[in-house]
Amino acid sequence: MPNVNTIALDAMGGDQAPPMVIAGADVARKRYPNTHFLIFGDDALCGPLLRRFSRLAAVAEVVHTEDIVAADAKPSVAVRRGRKSSMWLAINSVAERRANAVVSAGNTGALMAMSKLILKTLPGISRPAIAGLIPTRRSESVFLDLGANIECGPENLIEFALMGGILARAVLGVIRPTVGLLNVGEEEFKGRNELREVANVLRSKDTLFDFHGFVEGDDLTTGTTDVVVTDGFTGNITLKTLEGVSQAYSDFLRRSLRSSLSARLGGMLARSAFRSLREKVDPRKHNGAMFVGLNGVAVKSHGSTDSLGFANAIGVAVDIIEQGVNERIISELSRIQSTETA
């Protein structure tokens, strides 16, 4: 009999929560039959919503919570005052081993702060990071940190590279992933001093990935490396830039194709071509950023996503559990540490 995974859902986080969360869980239920759900949220709202999905209701349970973390709450405040929130209690169910992972579309900063406090950081990791999969011309790449660490020292970036490499093996299935360090030029003398220091360490390390060297902003879409490492400030701005351009491009294309009768006709004839383009860049398909470096699995969904996007974020959590990503990170870190102290 296959393992049953239990996913804790923060039903109160996200622009369209809780309906989006519960409808998303129902989509995920069909995709991942051996999954149970713990739905943390206001029972008066979530109970009736869950009853609309009788098959989901058979594998899900609402855990009533009284409080909500506001989307614009300061993480430090949320951590102090949010102990009865759906977010806190959902994360806590992972720490208590009642769930294998938590998924939330709520306040990113609060989710990371609470996850660090409740789940704790993995041994050998000084700071967890947020990692996402971005679409590239080749396929997909792992990109981190997407915003957990606004200021990063060299040791953080080195840890991100290690964790990103392990993620790429587990999630992308690349045997020996290539890792690039985001910089303003490919030449070794370019960029910040600390990046040259990181590059020197990564070149010399005995790791399960190949360090490619520096990559630039356009290498993200080219897919030059399987993993792209940067600090959380640059990562967050770059990711939002990527999303913004994709969105602007699709909107402009849609408007252009309504601009005349022949454009409309052309758009209809080329519909399947456009569909493949839309699917390639559909942000919902790439929804679900992984918190890596924690002693437990936490996945962040976009706050503005819909139920299909949320189901994909649940899928990311299922993947991480089934691929044993955290276990792999732990064993690879201890292997490196034992090599270095040997």
**Residues near a second copy (CB under 8 A):** 72, 74, 137, 147, 150-151, 182-184, 187, 189, 191-192, 216-222, 230, 232-234, 236-249, 251-253, 256-257, 259-260, 262-263, 265-274, 276-277, 280-281
- CB of 219: closest distance to a second copy in angstroms? 7
Q: Which residues contact 184 (CB under 8 A, 6 or more apart)?
A: 190, 191, 216
**Residue 4 or 184 with smaller CB distance to a second copy:** 184
- CB of 33: closest distance to a second copy in angstroms? 34
**Residue 110 or 333 with smaller CB distance to a second copy:** 110
- CB of 196: closest distance to a second copy in angstroms? 11
- Residue 199 has φ and ψ, to the nearest 5°, of -60, -40
**Residue 196 or 328 with smaller CB distance to a second copy:** 196
Contact 183, 216 (CB under 8 A): yes
**Residue 31 or 192 with smaller CB distance to a second copy:** 192
- CB of 71: closest distance to a second copy in angstroms? 10
- CB of 314: closest distance to a second copy in angstroms? 25
The first and second tokens of residue 112, run together, are: 């990371």
**Residue 36 or 196 with smaller CB distance to a second copy:** 196
- Distance between CA atoms of 291 and 201, rounded to whole angstroms? 24
- Taking Cα atoms as reference points, which of 44, 40, 45 lies closest to residue 63? 40
- CB of 151: closest distance to a second copy in angstroms? 7
Region class of 132: left (phi > 0), else alpha (psi between -120 and 50), else beta: beta
- Residue 52 has φ and ψ, to the nearest 5°, of -70, -20
CA dihedral (112, 302, 100, 39) positive or negative: positive
Neighbours of 131 (CB within 10 A): 27
**Residue 81 or 252 with smaller CB distance to a second copy:** 252
C-alpha distances in angstroms, 306 versus 26, 27, 31?
13, 11, 16
- The H or E element spanning position 103 is strand 101-104
- CB of 114: closest distance to a second copy in angstroms? 17
Contact 219, 225 (CB under 8 A): yes
Q: Residue 121 carries which DSSP code?
A: B
**Residue 117 or 273 with smaller CB distance to a second copy:** 273
**Residue 137 or 203 with smaller CB distance to a second copy:** 137
Q: Which residues contact 4 (CB under 8 A, 6 or more apart)?
A: 34, 35, 36
Amino acid symbol at 97: R
The first and second tokens of residue 266, run together, are: 């052309």
What angle, 0 to 180 degrees and rounded to 10, lies between the N-to-C axes of helices 43-51 and 19-31? 40
